[in-house]
Chain A
Amino acid sequence: KNEVEQSPQNLTAQEGEFITINCSYSVGISALHWLQQHPGGGIVSLFMLSSGKKKHGRLIATINIQEKHSSLHITASHPRDSAVYICAVRANNNDMRFGAGTRLTVKP
């Protein structure tokens, strides 16, 4: 079993829909990251969380440390949100583990 599990693996949505991507982890962490990888391959760091909730534009990330679970929400989704979203956890020794990613396709 992977230390970081993401669901769903693939997600197709219509433009405007509310999207949720989930991440569960089984190790102790100092922080959790959400990353976005576009079809061209570049990786962008969206959020770093150690507790609570963060919001940036239409993106919202939450984390529940006790339940070892995080969610990434996208409100009013748009075709330009189509990408692979990756959850990554940073252990206390700064080692990092990654989820397999969620491939999101938003159709116009």
Chain B
Amino acid sequence: NAGVTQTPKFRVLKTGQSMTLLCAQDMNHEYMYWYRQDPGMGLRLIHYSVGEGTTAKGEVPDGYNVSRLKKQNFLLGLESAAPSQTSVYFCASGTHYGYTFGSGTRLTVV
């Protein structure tokens, strides 16, 4: 009963490096989301997906790319990390009836 699993939980990157955050869900959910949470800003949607092979931009998509090649996985990529991308990243999956959140990834870009 893993639910939504995010990897890694913590990461420190140097400016300009790239990385991929993985979100995996085992609940057969159609919808998956990536958010970032910053002090004083609340949660903001980066990208989302309403099904395998589909992605869409959220409120703050710049600097990020996503892919949903398999229904259970939603990947968030940073091609060239910037200090402004230092944040806590949350993934969620869900249906029309509710959502389950991952435990978060704390990313620091130095």
Contacts and interface: CB of A to CB of B under 8 A. Distances in A.
Interface of A: 31, 33, 35, 41-45, 48, 86, 88, 93-101
Chain B interface residue count: which class?
20 to 34
B24 to A, nearest CB: 17
A98 B99 CA distance: 14
10 contacts: A41-B103, A45-B98, A48-B97, A86-B43, A94-B48, A96-B33, A96-B58, A97-B45, A97-B59, A101-B42
Name the prevailing secondary structure of the A interface residues: strand
A97 B42 CA distance: 10
Q: Of residues A42, A44, A98, which shows the largest number of chain B Cβ atoms within 10 Å of its Cβ? A: A98
A95 B98 contact: no
Contacts, number: 53
Contact of B99 (A45, A97, A99): A45
A44 B101 contact: yes
Interface of B: 31, 33, 35, 40-45, 48, 50, 56, 58-59, 88, 90, 92, 94, 96-101, 103-104
Given A33-B98, A42-B103, A45-B98, 19 more contacts: A35-B101, A41-B103, A44-B101, A45-B99, A45-B101, A48-B97, A48-B98, A94-B31, A95-B45, A95-B48, A95-B59, A96-B33, A96-B45, A97-B59, A98-B35, A100-B40, A100-B41, A100-B42, A101-B42
Contacts of A99: 42
Given A48-B97, A94-B48, A95-B58, A42 B42 contact: no
Contacts of A100: 40-42
Contacts of A45: 94, 98-101
A53 B98 CA distance: 15
